[in-house]
Amino acid sequence: MSGSQTVSTYAQALYDLAAVSDAFDAVDEGMRAVVNAVRGNVDLREALVDTTVPADKRREIMRAIFGDAVVPEVVALAALMVERGHADLLGAVSTEYARLLEERRGVVIAEVTTAVPLSEALRAKLIDKLQAATGKAVSLREAVDPSILGGIVVKVAGRVLDGSVNSQLRELRQALATARQGGDA
């Protein structure tokens, strides 16, 4: 099974577990907490991905740390992932679960990248424009990337709208490189 299929399978299983107990939001929060804890602690992350540590020991580490902190559905799935050597996919599964949850709620996710953080006014205006364009409620996933120099890159509904200064400069460079060179005749 490919990495993306594995992530989708785990996310769907997590969604199904959340549906049984009607704990969609608690599962979402729990997965985010687990991911943040694993990303924020190098020793924990290394222990969970270390194949020399027995699988049952890695599972017990997860249960000991998160057993009382997050809902049982998250502990069960995260422990299973760690036991099977998929600890490195926890973040991707959390993201895919959130996407599934919002999709089932009729919300479109828009990934927005800007050179500087969005102001509240610009964020609200962008959400309004995207909702008008898609006809659905929109949830923004924001990222700041100074390398785009300015402007905005939006990924929504399978489309990429690249209005970054970086892409405009790249297009200008390409146009200049392919332009006919003229001269005095």
**Residue 72: which of 148, 130, 18 has the closest Cα?**
18
Residues 81 and 128 in one domain: no
Is residue 32 included in any domain, yes or no?
yes
Residue, of 35 and 2, whose pLDDT is higher: 35
| pLDDT of the residue at 73 | 94
Q: Is residue 83 pLDDT above 60, yes or no?
A: yes
**Boundary-marking domain end, from 50, 74, 101:** 101
Domain edge (last residue) among 76, 101, 126: 101
The residue type of 53 is: V
Q: How confident is the model at residue 78 (pLDDT cuts 50, 70, 90)?
A: very high
How many other β-carbons are positioned within 10 Å of the β-carbon of residue 87? 21
Look up the domain containing 16 and give its range.
3-101
The pairing of beta strand 137-144 with beta strand 107-114: parallel
Q: Per-residue pLDDT for 39 more than 80?
A: yes
Of 79, 101, 123, the position where a domain reaches its end is 101
Tell me, what's the pLDDT at 14?
A: 95
- Of the chain, the end-to-end C-alpha distance in Å amounts to 64
Same domain? 75 vs 18: yes
Can you give the CATH number for the domain in which 85 is found?
1.10.520.20
Question: What pLDDT score does 66 carry?
Answer: 92
Give the mean pLDDT of 155-161.
85
pLDDT digits (tens, 9 = 90+) for 91-148: 999 999 998 998 888 888 889 999 999 999 999 999 999 999 989 899 898 999 998 8
With bands split at pLDDT 50, 70 and 90, how would you rate the model's confidence at 31? very high
> For residue 185, is it within any domain?
no
The domain total for the chain is 2
Q: Are residues 16 and 97 in the same domain?
A: yes
Three-state DSSP at 139 gives strand
